[in-house]
Structure 1
Amino acid sequence: MRSAHRVETVRTAERTLMAQLPDGALMQRAAAGLAAACAAALPHIYGSRIVLLTGSGDNGGDTLYAGARLAKRGAGVTAVLLNPTRTHPEALKALLRAGGTTTTPTAPTTPSLINRADLILDGIVGIGGKGGLRPEAAPLAELAAASPATVVSVDLPSGIEPDTGEVNGPAIHADLTVTFGTHKPGLLIDPAREHAGSVRLIDIGLASTLPATPDVESLQHADVAALLPHPSPESDKYRRGVVGIAAGSARYPGAAVLAVAGALRGGAGAVRYVGPAADAVLTRFPETLVSDKGPRKAGRVQAWVTGPGAGDDAAPVAEALSTDVPVLLDADGLRLADRDAVRARTAPTLMTPHAGEAAALLGVSREEVESARLTAVRDLARGYHATVLLKGSTTLIATPDDDTPVRVNPTGTPWLATAGSGDVLSGLAGSLLAAGLSPLDAASAAAYLHGLAGRYAAKGAPTIAQDVAEAIPAAWRDITA
């Protein structure tokens, strides 16, 4: 599992660790790891041209010390000092002793120096940066973006918001980010994640001083494998869980078919369908248990999925919410559900909006949600007393409890932005709810499986929702193998 911690937490952990180490030891650990990562990013070190974009403070110190190590191995290293009077003095001395040189952002040769570089090391600002790059640093980001050089950011791309993943001004676009001790939330959450490129975590001994519970976490194969249900020899279809699907309409029967497709592949023992698309569902999936009654009279289930393709029929949504089992609200169900009814539920609720639906629920613009995804998912979870899966370029899952880490899904592909893909996800997550997973775990495992299945279905080309559903077993086997 990848864990990420907020700036305040990281700084407290660093102070605790530095009190146990000789002066400067922590910076030297970071610089050694950074230099090794830079060396691995170059075809050769000797004769390489390296430019250090160097700010003040410890981030600039890490950059200069790493530059000194590379200069000792034969690289030509030049540091562009944004604030020469506040540059880390000992690190600057180390660079100069190793044969490195310095210049300033306004020097006439700086643009050509950056353009001719093989590697640019971004050490402009560290975890203390807020609000995008300052005017004197923004031109350097533009020059770095235009250069053919490999851009490596130190700890995080300069200009992003480390705690939220927001980008509120000019920022560096890195090919590689080398971060220390722990991930920062901004390295995992868009739009900042897109600025980070590949991320490499360097162990500097910080784990012993960090709290056990991170602020943000990202599951990996082993974590998801531990969550997925597995039938025992005594299992039957009812013990494995039954998921109810109240979805679809005369206008949108396909939403019901796709939600059932996701549910059938999600680990529950059986799927009950309630709605006007019964004929379409049975034609495609004859194993579905179909009822012509509402959710309360359809037969026993362990979870309900309601909303996909529902149109304007609020009755099934309200009826599902009145049950005492977990309910997943998606698509039209998010719009039709009564907020007070959701908040009053004693059984768990899982909501799965995309950015536009989240914006409507919060009363803000879609752009606000997409630029501040972490804030949006937290606000929705608190406001509705529900677990919320916010779909998008990075899918986030939050509970109403602020002390529970937000989960970031690392799988997926842009090809998943296709009609019906979300219906498959809702059925899949609902099936995992029925199999006994908590809303947080069901949402996390479903998003992971769905994203991986999307990769398998697309293979770098356009795909459709039905193909994504059919690829879920392959994704499941990959995770559990």
Structure 2
Amino acid sequence: MRYGHSVAAVRRAEGALMARVAEGALMQRAAAGLAAVGADLLGRVYGARVVVLAGSGANGGDALFAAARLLRRGASGTAVLLSPERAHAEGLAAFRAAGGRVTGAEGGPAAIARADLVLDGITGIGGKGGLRPEAEPLAEAAHEARAAVVAVDLPSGVDADTGEVQGAAVRADATVTFGTYKPGLLVDPAAEHAGALRLVEIGLDPAELGPPELEALQHADVAALLPRPTGESDKYRRGVVGVVAGSERYPGAAVLAVSSAVRGGAGAVRYVGPGGTAVLAQHPETLVSDGSPRGAGRVQAWVVGPGLGDDARARTAVEEVLQAPVPALVDADGLRLLSPEAVRRREAPTLLTPHAGEAAALLGWSREDVEAGRLRAVRELAARFGATVLLKGSTTLVADPDPAVPVRANPTGTSWLATAGSGDVLSGLAGSLLAAGLPARDAGSTAAYLHGIAARLSTPPLTAPDLAAALPAAWQNVSGGA
């Protein structure tokens, strides 16, 4: 599991650690890790040209000390000081002692154009609101240069706590972060600026960090969550998922949602809707009903909404699913047919799975605001509806209605998932995991993880049927065949 802690938590833990170690020890640990990553990226340090973009904070000091280490191994270096009078004194002295040259911001673009490695130490984790005007040309030059750009702790100009980018920001090829991940490194749009992430341990005490704000599952975490049948299992004990999807206009949504549901860990799938013929043609094992959810038979979880439309039949279906005493996933058209009050009245868990446009409609925001502030949006939706919310997009986030529970960020997404029907596949898969007994937060985050792995295992350009077909391979990839 990757954990992301807030700026306040990091500063608290760093303060406690600095009180126990020698002065400057923490910065030297960070600089050593940063220099090691820089050396790996360079391959050959001797003769390489290193440029440090140094602001007035500790990040500038980290970068200067790291560059000094590289210079002592034969690199040449230039430090671009944005605030010369406020540069980290000890770091600058070490850099100069190692043979480094110094220039102001005006000399930065030319130095960057000749560099092999650029260390971004302009701002630290407390930076807000994008880069200052004098730093913007440096970020632009770094983006256009052939050099590898390494951000110190996080790319300058992004918000460490929220992942928001409110103005110009550095785009890094890699980010070396210290002690723990910061939430913004795991959430777009900031994550797009971070590149590959490297965590350098500097000795922070987990107890002093406290609970994380954000977490990201990894293979072992997902493998531990996947449902597995036992010797006593039958199709009913493994769970039955009900799928209410599709319409005369969108019969494909029914097929796609059922296709992923049958591969999602539950023992059986009941389909309710007008697409029964199409569903049975693809999946003859499906239990089909053309009535309403209430009369379809027993299920352990419901999925409602993909391709459903908004006629009277659709409204009735959503109402009956919300009244059922079992977990329910609401997606697509179903999201337009519910209210916060109807969801809050439910005693069973509810999982809502909007994309940015649907989230914007539910919140009364613009789509642009949702995409710019994904973490804020998913938390607000979960609070407003009293439900678990899976916000789809470039970074899929899963938020529990309890604000004390960390939001989960999915690390496996790929832009190839931006294809028609991909969301229907995700809904069926997550609903099947709900029926198999996973809590809503685990079902949503596990489904998103497998969904992304399936996309990565498919041959691009993939389609939604390709995605559903790849789910068993994704399951095996994560579980190691168990």
User: Aligning the two structures, in what range does the TM-score lie when normalised by the shorter sequence?
Assistant: over 0.9
Q: Give the match's secondary structure for 1:381.
A: helix
Q: Give the match's secondary structure for 1:15.
A: helix
For 1:11-410, what aligned pairs fall within 5 Å after superposition? 11-107=11-107, 110-312=108-310, 313-410=314-411
1:34-65 deviation digits (Å, cap 9, x = unpaired): 01110001031111110100001211110111
CA distance in structure 2 between the partners assigned to 1:468 and 1:210 by the alignment: 42
Moved more, 337-346 or 72-81: 337-346
CA distance in structure 2 between the partners assigned to 1:85 and 1:305 by the alignment: 61
CA distance in structure 2 between the partners assigned to 1:235 and 1:350 by the alignment: 26
1:444-465 deviation digits (Å, cap 9, x = unpaired): 10000011001112x3x21110
CA distance in structure 1 between the partners assigned to 2:57 and 2:282 by the alignment: 63
1:110-156 deviation digits (Å, cap 9, x = unpaired): 32211011111100001011000001111111111121111111000
The letter of the residue matching 2:329 is L
* Residue ranges of structure 1 left out of the alignment (5+ in a row): none
CA distance in structure 1 between the partners assigned to 2:353 and 2:207 by the alignment: 35
The letter of the residue matching 2:294 is R
Number of residue pairs aligned between Structure 1 and Structure 2: 477
**Any conservation in 2 of the 1:16–1:209 contact (CA below 8 Å)?**
no
The letter of the residue matching 1:364 is W
> Is the aligned partner of 1:470 residue 2:469?
yes
Partner residue in 2 for 1:427: 428
The letter of the residue matching 2:395 is T
CA distance in structure 1 between the partners assigned to 2:207 and 2:447 by the alignment: 33
1:344-376 deviation digits (Å, cap 9, x = unpaired): 111100000000000000011100000000000
1:360-409 deviation digits (Å, cap 9, x = unpaired): 00011100000000000000000000000000001000011111000000
Q: Give the match's secondary structure for 1:122.
A: strand
Q: Give the match's secondary structure for 2:62.
A: helix
The letter of the residue matching 1:88 is H
CA distance in structure 2 between the partners assigned to 1:4 and 1:288 by the alignment: 41
Query: Alpha-carbon deviation of 1:212?
Result: 4.8
CA distance in structure 2 between the partners assigned to 1:219 and 1:140 by the alignment: 35
CA distance in structure 1 between the partners assigned to 2:209 and 2:124 by the alignment: 21
Query: Alpha-carbon deviation of 1:205?
Result: 0.8
**Any conservation in 2 of the 1:246–1:306 contact (CA below 8 Å)?**
yes
Query: Alpha-carbon deviation of 1:96?
Result: 1.0
Deviating 4+ runs (over 2 angstroms): 207-213
CA distance in structure 1 between the partners assigned to 2:38 and 2:292 by the alignment: 61
The letter of the residue matching 2:383 is R
The letter of the residue matching 2:353 is T
**Any conservation in 2 of the 1:17–1:209 contact (CA below 8 Å)?**
no
Q: Give the match's secondary structure for 1:60.
A: helix
The letter of the residue matching 1:410 is P
Q: Give the match's secondary structure for 1:106.
A: helix
Query: Alpha-carbon deviation of 1:209?
Result: 4.6
The TM-score with structure 1 as length reference comes to: 0.98
> Is the aligned partner of 1:441 residue 2:442?
yes
CA distance in structure 1 between the partners assigned to 2:210 and 2:467 by the alignment: 36
CA distance in structure 2 between the partners assigned to 1:113 and 1:277 by the alignment: 64
Query: Alpha-carbon deviation of 1:293?
Result: 2.5
**Any conservation in 2 of the 1:82–1:104 contact (CA below 8 Å)?**
yes
Q: Give the match's secondary structure for 2:119.
A: strand
CA distance in structure 2 between the partners assigned to 1:199 and 1:441 by the alignment: 24
CA distance in structure 1 between the partners assigned to 2:51 and 2:209 by the alignment: 36
**Any conservation in 1 of the 2:247–2:309 contact (CA below 8 Å)?**
yes
CA distance in structure 2 between the partners assigned to 1:464 and 1:474 by the alignment: 16
The letter of the residue matching 1:9 is A
Question: Percent identity over the alignment?
Answer: 66
Q: Give the match's secondary structure for 2:3.
A: strand
The letter of the residue matching 1:475 is A
**Any conservation in 1 of the 2:9–2:210 contact (CA below 8 Å)?**
no
Q: Give the match's secondary structure for 2:427.
A: helix
* Residue ranges of structure 2 left out of the alignment (5+ in a row): none
Q: Give the match's secondary structure for 1:92.
A: helix
Moved more, 165-174 or 285-294: 285-294
Query: Alpha-carbon deviation of 1:233?
Result: 0.6
CA distance in structure 2 between the partners assigned to 1:113 and 1:299 by the alignment: 71
